[in-house]
Structure 1
Amino acid sequence: MFTSGQLYFAGSFIVVFVIAMIYVYRKDLALHKKYYKGSYWILIAFLSFIAALFVVKFLTKDPS
């Protein structure tokens, strides 16, 4: 399906991308703490909403 060169490229791309994202996040950590206080509550609310959708889907599922 994929050649070995494509797999090597994908793997190296993922590793370099993750390293770059960690570097950039660490560099801006002070700004994140200053401007994004309380953003965890938004994440918790979003995940709760998604969980509620799955519960509603499971409860309204046709048993047959």
Structure 2
Amino acid sequence: MFSQGQLIFGACFFAVFVIIMIFAYRKDLALHKVFYKGNYKVLLVFLLFIATLFAIKIFFKR
């Protein structure tokens, strides 16, 4: 499906992208602590909502 060169390029691109994102996040970490306090609550509510949708789907499937 993909050539060996494409797979190597994809792996290298992914590795470099992740490293750059880690450096960018660390650079902005102080700002994140100030402006995004309580963000985990939004994430928990979102995950709970998704879990509820799956539960409803399983419940009505039976």
TM-score range, shorter chain: over 0.9
Distance between the aligned counterparts of 2:45 and 2:60, measured in 1? 22
TM-score by length of 1: 0.95
Q: Which string of whole-angstrom CA distances, capped at 9 and with x for unpartnered residues, describes residues 23-48 of structure 1?
A: 00000000000000000000000000
Name 2:26's counterpart in structure 1: 26
Matched, 1:51 2:51: yes
Segments of 5+ residues of structure 1 without an aligned counterpart are: none
Higher helix proportion (structure 1 or 2): 2
- Paired positions, count: 62
Question: RMSD in angstroms over aligned alpha carbons?
Answer: 0.5
Name 1:41's counterpart in structure 2: 41
Runs ≥4 in structure 1, deviation > 3 angstroms? none
Distance between the aligned counterparts of 1:49 and 1:39, measured in 2? 16
